[in-house]
Structure 1
């Protein structure tokens, strides 16, 4: 007997937490019909699908709730459901979590196990296994910094879920990866969703891809264990803001001077790090600076909160500072380096979304990668087209930050105020200043800590180095207006002037 407790259900999780198997089990109940990853930005339901139940990707973008309504109608009398992962449509994440008619299932797994499983899947390109004879095996290299970033992002996702549930008085059924195969837990989930139907023997059908201990999956296993041992005192915040914006990985300190920089993404990070290098006695203009960052210990970073507290305790006379960049210049930096084609550090999924959903004109990839402006113009991509494309990107940012798009909000265009608040949850910032005041910042730190003379030439370099077309050349008041609409709090909190006046 099925009771109409909910209209639909959602499985919330991250990749490699056992969601395929859980969905497979649920679909063996007559009472349920789960449709897969219906809000994955790249497909509908499963890879290769561009339509589902008569709804295509364009309509899903404009009317995402219509797809849920279509599933409810299609599955009747069964209860429909789908999987919603980190990085899927944030509008649907919020809507479903606060909806009384949605049955909420939260799936979790030990983050180290899911991280290693994800690394293996990425290396073997095998994401689900039905035939054990086709298993692809691989050993992966463990990188602590990469794992900490993964853990921080995953914690932020689950913290956001928990916070929304609490704020709106909602409850959820939480299930661990190791319990997905437990018939008692599976039937408990079925009762939560509204049926007393019983499966005599649930059929697995999906085989675990990476069985065995971690020592058989990680090539530097002993190094991994030693690195994780240093993280025992790490404290994870339950507050999404602190976990997602302004975490430990954004903090960098001088190795000698008591100076700590809290870095906001898409800001003047390199110029500040070069200046900090000269504070420690180095050459800020050295040609091998990027290589030295990889091969030498130029700075101090913090693997856990205990290390940060120790650094702070040992340096009562210190300066901890953050620099905020003009929102328009920051957006342009992301536009040129991440959105335009070319290079390995771009955002191809968001680029494709801008092309198909917003009609953004895209220039030639090879010429973008080679910073070949003359070639771009010969191919028809003019400064006017670049100006129009940037206007479209600003429109996307405004809609994205207000929860009107299916794309994730990346830290490189997230509001800077959120980062500053996140940093202040970790440590007291002594100074938050605008990029246009960097020379004054250098003088303040030098005088406050009695550092003596510092070389500030790196702060006198052009802000637009590395841009294919300078922002000053294509700037319009329409750009400024769109940026101000998107970043009202940043403009108000930090007192930004219009771009040309800010840096005059």
Structure 2
């Protein structure tokens, strides 16, 4: 008996997923229903209803369809899923160890060219070679690079979900689809007793031959390959832990504004503004936040970025000076020889506070680099990691800057039809000015390189 109650094939267009599905469906006890969460079709072309659920029903909430697919399919049910399908369903699929993950990939250059030819000929499947339509297409380098970025980001999303839930997947390449042995290995992975004796030969390869022969501008291949960092050498290694989406910290107003606060940022002023607009909803889970979004069409999500040096100083004052993080205080005193006053008491001098803050910034650099071995408090994490965490749930509509916060909030208020708040400077700004020097500026830039580079932060004091 299979240890799985369902399966999903993660693939992309023109990777051979139709052929893989045909061979899976040839196994007694296995039924793959196609691209059931594709926004434009319901499993297959021209189908308008599946298990009594229409496309409109599915688009409102995909979960009932997933449930019925599993309950009403005889044998092991499954479906195909691409990066541009309805991502809401992943909350139910990815964490579920009882749902087998099959991952099909293909050389992205080949899949992109095949996709362009299919667009040009409107021939997406071929069963009769006599009806083959051929065409030469133009290779669009920027479009290809965007295509590559999208599928790589989706693969990383799947990989991270598998890693953090302790699951494994069955990986297939396009070239594996012609192997009876590999298909039988997949059957064994799925836990079904049936085996393939002969592969499905209904579907024919549409575009054989060298890649260059399919292009109007084959010289563009060299430009595309040159733009791809094959070994990922251009990426600055980051050992900072990935962050969760922070959904429980989100604030929602009845005006349709949704705020994802960044710890040690200017969140108090925005909370006060939301409270002035009426009921503030918070303490969400992903499911309840999606329900809120459905009830508030036209909603707008945002966060506020603060300069890394000021943000670190705010965290220092609260966590270390005021003593909110006693364990971290002990680490700085015992491990980094920081001279700290009892919690809540002021430093003896400007020099003493400056020295302690510099030690704190050096600790932040080690923490963000994964060198402390300790959990990285969200107040110390980079804003890049926190924003990426939110984006793993849903990309934000706006990233506002604190130095232009009044302008940014006025724009959001106008869109929501409410009055904008009065924004005042954080008192920490004056306090930081009193201790600022060049070593602090340098230490902040070293600790938060990702924020300075990614968000374009310049020096705090110019």
Q: If the length of structure 2 is used for normalisation, what is the TM-score?
A: 0.54
Aligned residue pairs total: 288
Output one character per residue of 1:338-374: Cα deviation in whole Å (capped at 9) or x when no partner.
xxxxxxxxxxxxxxxxxxxxxxxxxxxxxxxxxxxxx
Structure 1 residue runs of 4 or more that deviate by more than 6 Å after TM superposition: 236-240, 328-331, 398-401, 416-420, 422-425
The CA distance in 2 between the partners of 1:142 and 1:121, in whole Å, is: 13
Residues 115 and 52 of structure 1: CA distance in aligned 2, closer, same or farther (over 3 Å): same
Q: 1:104 aligns with which of 87, 94, 101?
A: 101
Q: Which residue of 2 aligns with 1:57?
A: 55
| 8 Å CA contact 2:257, 2:301 repeated in 1 | no
Whole-Å separation in 2 of the counterparts to 1:329 and 1:196: 52
Equivalent-residue separation in structure 1 for 2:210 and 2:224 (angstroms): 18
Change in CA separation of 1:176 and 1:479 when aligned onto 2, cut-off 3 Å: farther
Q: CA RMSD in A?
A: 4.2
Give matches, 1:13-28, under 5 Å.
Answer: 13-28=11-26
Distance 1:97 1:66, change over 3 A: same
Select the residue among 363, 380, 384 that pairs with 1:421.
384
Task: Give the counterpart of 2:132 among 132, 135, 152.
Answer: 135
Contact 2:128 2:204 in 1 (8 A): yes
Aligned counterparts of 2:292 and 2:173: Cα–Cα separation in 1? 31
Structure 2 stretches of 5 or more lacking a match? Answer: 241-254, 259-284, 295-299, 306-381, 389-399, 422-450, 452-462
1:54-203 matched pairs, under 5 angstroms: 54-76=52-74, 78-203=75-200
Tell me, yes or no, if the aligned pair for 1:86 and 1:157 is still in contact at 8 Å.
yes
Matched, 1:212 2:220: no
- Shift of the alpha carbon at 1:86? 1.0
Cα distance, 1:95 vs. partner?
1.6
1:42 maps to 40
Aligned to 2:358: none
- 2:145 is paired with a residue whose SS is helix
1:476 aligned residue:
417
State the partner residue of 1:444.
none
Higher relative contact order (CA 8 A, sep 6+): 1
* Structure showing greater Rg: 2
User: Using the alignment, how far apart are the partners of 2:29 and 2:84 within structure 1?
Assistant: 29
Q: Note the C-alpha offset of 1:178.
A: 0.8
Q: Distance in 1 between matches of 2:188 and 2:180?
A: 12
Check the 8 A contact 2:95/2:161 in 1, yes or no. Answer: yes
Gaps of 5+ in 1: 243-327, 332-397, 408-412, 426-431, 440-462, 465-469, 481-492, 494-504
Distance 1:399 1:216 in 2: 48
Deviation at residue 60 of structure 1 after TM alignment: 2.1
Distance 1:478 1:212 in 2: 63
CA distance in 1 between partners of 2:162 and 2:113 (Å): 29
Give the 3-state SS of the residue equivalent to 2:67 in structure 1. helix
Q: Please state how far the C-alpha of 1:64 moved relative to its aligned partner.
A: 2.4
Q: 1:32, CA displacement in angstroms?
A: 0.5
Deviation of 1:42 after TM superposition, in Å, equals 1.7
> Relative to structure 1, is the Cα distance of residues 160 and 417 closer, same or farther in structure 2, using a 3 angstrom cutoff?
farther
Alignment of 1:318-397 (within 5 A): none
Cα distance 1:160–1:227, how it changes in 2: closer, same or farther (>3 A)?
closer
Q: Is the 8 A contact 2:34 2:79 kept in 1?
A: yes
- CA distance in 2: counterparts of 1:414 and 1:438, whole angstroms: 16
Q: Hey, what does 1:278 align to over in structure 2? A: none
SS in 1 for 2:115: helix
Q: 1:222 deviation in Å?
A: 2.4
In structure 2, relative to structure 1, the CA distance for the partners of 1:475 and 1:28 (3 Å cut) is closer
CA drift at 1:90: 1.0
* Structure 1 residues 63 and 424, CA gap change in structure 2 (3 angstroms): closer
- Is the 1:90–1:403 Cα contact (8 Å) retained in structure 2? no
Q: Does the 8 A contact of 2:19 with 2:200 survive in 1?
A: no
Task: Decide which moves more: 125-134 or 17-26.
Answer: 125-134
Determine the structure 1 residue equivalent to 2:318. Answer: none
Task: Deviation per CA, 1:272-299: give whole Å up to 9, x if none.
Answer: xxxxxxxxxxxxxxxxxxxxxxxxxxxx
Q: Is the 8 A contact 1:399 1:405 kept in 2?
A: no
